[in-house]
Structure 1
Amino acid sequence: MSEHTREDSQEEVEVIQKSERRGKKEKRDRKERSKSKKSKVEVTEPTTSDDTTKNVAETPAKKRKREALPEEIEIDVSLPEPASKKAARKLKKAKLNPAPDGEAKAGAKAADDAEDKDKSAKRSEFGVWIGNLPWSATKESLRNFLVENAEMKTEHITRVHMPPPTKPVNPNWTTKPLNKGFAYVDFATELAMYSAIALTETKMDGRALLIKNAKSFEGRPDKPKTEEEQDTGRGGKGAAKQTHPPNKRVFVGNLAFDVTKEDLQAHYSQCGPIDLLHVAAFEDSGKCKGYAWVTFSDVESATSAVKGFVLKTEAEIQRDKKSQAGAPSDDDQDEQEDVPRSNKKRKWLLNRLNGRALRCEFAEDATTRYNKRYGKDKPQPHDAGDAVHHDRWNTFSKRAGKRESQPRPKVDARTIPSGAAHASAPRASQAIVAPQGKKTTFE
């Protein structure tokens, strides 16, 4: 036998051995799988049929679908009613922020919340507002305080609403506040409500309570209305605070940059005749800076401009609309018939120009302004500011007077000790100095 045939026979033997081992392994795997399947077989209730009876049902090894819930759900009626979402949130807050006394106060708070939940649906018509409550007051302590000090019973109190504090507690406080300082209490009868109101100024834990009717707002001061609010019925953002008395001169602000003198003349001529109109403009472009001064012939016209409206008849309003639209003003009979002849006047607003709300207020009178600048009301140098105290200014003025009346004698500089010249040197005034610069304009 040659070497080649010997090697081939050995290879065939190895292949046969490998195939036998592979076959044995597959048999063992099949046996194990069959055993695992048999262990998962469940015996079921036998069902009769004509052909065969099935006693077992095979269940899958892995469930991929959720089992269907039974159609009927059993509910135990004897169990307590589950808490609502609102009550659950309150209980959660109570657990996160427990009261100083622990579980006792937490339980009382939960009981009060449950009681309020039952009774808050029907709010009583007889309620009071209680203010200046001590921080230690709770719903139960307030209820006991009212029952003990007033002629009422616990059944008469139908609702106690005491909002809990929401702001963070000051770390320097020794006790944590249990309320916001006020509460609302509802009663079943009107007599009980007035009995509670009679306890006002009664002290609770050292604080005098303030008890009022929850629906009464007597004693609250009304917000005073300004003259502009009473006339126009509007106020707030557009209303300007008047700092000067009524006069013929009016300041107009919040103007658009493209507003011209002719626009203002046409706009405010509806109030009355205008004597002088000055529009503040930039020197380089000549456009409006956003404000102007209008001087009217009488105070009534200036007052109408500040109020922002004038009274006109329907005929005048129609005429103004036609003039603004550029229609020709003919005196034909047909046009006169179209204009309503009603003499009833209504407000014609003048508080807007080119879509911008104007800021109009009385300006300083020209005479008063002149007296402040050049007349008897001209401020003295020491009144220009608080830079120099009036006592020091008087000292400076006395020294200046002495220097003018008595000329200084000639002194040899060599005889003056060192430092004396600087100490006695005249000091410049500390008052505000008017600027003396020059303005340069570029074309």
Structure 2
Amino acid sequence: MSSDTEMSSAEEIAVVSKKERRDKKEKKDKKEKKEKKRARAESKAEVAESDSEDAAETPAKKRKREALPEELEIDVNLPEPASKKAARKAKKAKLNPTPAANADGEASVAKTDAKTDANSAEDRENAAKRSEYGVWIGNLPWSATKESLRKFLTDNTEIPDDQITRIHMPPPTRPPPPSWTTKPMNKGFAYVDFSTELSMYSAIALTEMKMDNRALLIKNAKSFDGRPDKPKTEETQDNGRGAKDAKPKNPPNKRVFVGNLSFDVTQEDLKNHYAPCGRIDNIHMATFEDSGKCKGFAWVTFRDVEAATAAVRGFVFKDPSAFKNKKDRDESDSEVDTSKPVKQRKWLVNKLMGRELRREFAEDNHTRYHKRFGHEKEGADGENAGRERGFGRGGGQRGDRQDFGDSNGGRGGKRKVDPRNIKSGAAHMSTQRASQAIVESQGKKTTFD
């Protein structure tokens, strides 16, 4: 029994001690919380005092603007305020004054006024010199100046120097390219005024005349037309569509060169195409060796020059009956009125298979032979004249044995060889064989240290 009572008393003591410790801890926590609250309150009070002091030093800002007066008074007599651009220029002028300007800027103002006065006086003088009789000169050489142009006009015409009242030649504004060795003196054109109308037309008559190898274009200053077309001459030919072909290189003859042909064109096609022009004696067409097709060009030889001229011109004149079919032709033959003249129509031969043909007179055999061999051709004229002479034995036919001797009519030249007739290996068989002996070295011995 005693032991049980001792154990219960010990437990009670332990419970009491734990309760005391808990109470002490709670008291301590409450005390710390109170101190923290008091410190926080003191800090807030200090902040409020500082804010009140600041508010007392600086008055509070007004949120609302003061009311503007109902009417605005503007003095109209005051000078107009300068714009922002003018104000910036004035500020720059004050910050960077010119050395020649005075403190008040009177010198600079005087200079600008004098310059404007001089320009206006010059403009007035130029306007006074202008007349109704002026010309525009284009395609000027870069080396032309007012003095050289005046000298050109007075030397090539009967215009007195005093009748040339004004020469306006604008100078170039852009720098020349670095590759140019000479600096241009003008923009390529000029205006010249005269005092009389006769002088103006005398200057216009000089158009197309060359000045430093440049054909000048001179026309009325009030005209805006371009360079006039050159007058049509006999050398300029019409190709049948209103367009003009270039000047022929060779004189008219019976032989015509035809280019821009299709690869599918044959000699029969060319013969039928140029049959309306006249009688054809020969057609030589350049063909490929492998396929035998046309290379795109040929030579057509006509019986007379008139037929060749029609082929180069690109059209021939035919009666309207040639454009009708057989049935219409038979019907019209019975109703032909011989009293009225029949108007002929053009038959175009400038196209073949939809391609515009290139047509020009070719060199005749005489001229071509002279160019190739350097002397005049002897013997009969014709397409193959002179070919039968000096082409070796056997008539010079393809496939015959090639003769490399003196077989070209005693001229000592070699006959043209067709490479297709040379047998395989024949060229190597006729070449000189190299020596198989040991050849003594001819080189130099080089040694290195």
Structure whose alpha-carbon radius of gyration is higher:
2
TM-score (norm 1): 0.45
What TM-score results when the alignment is normalised by the length of structure 2? Answer: 0.45
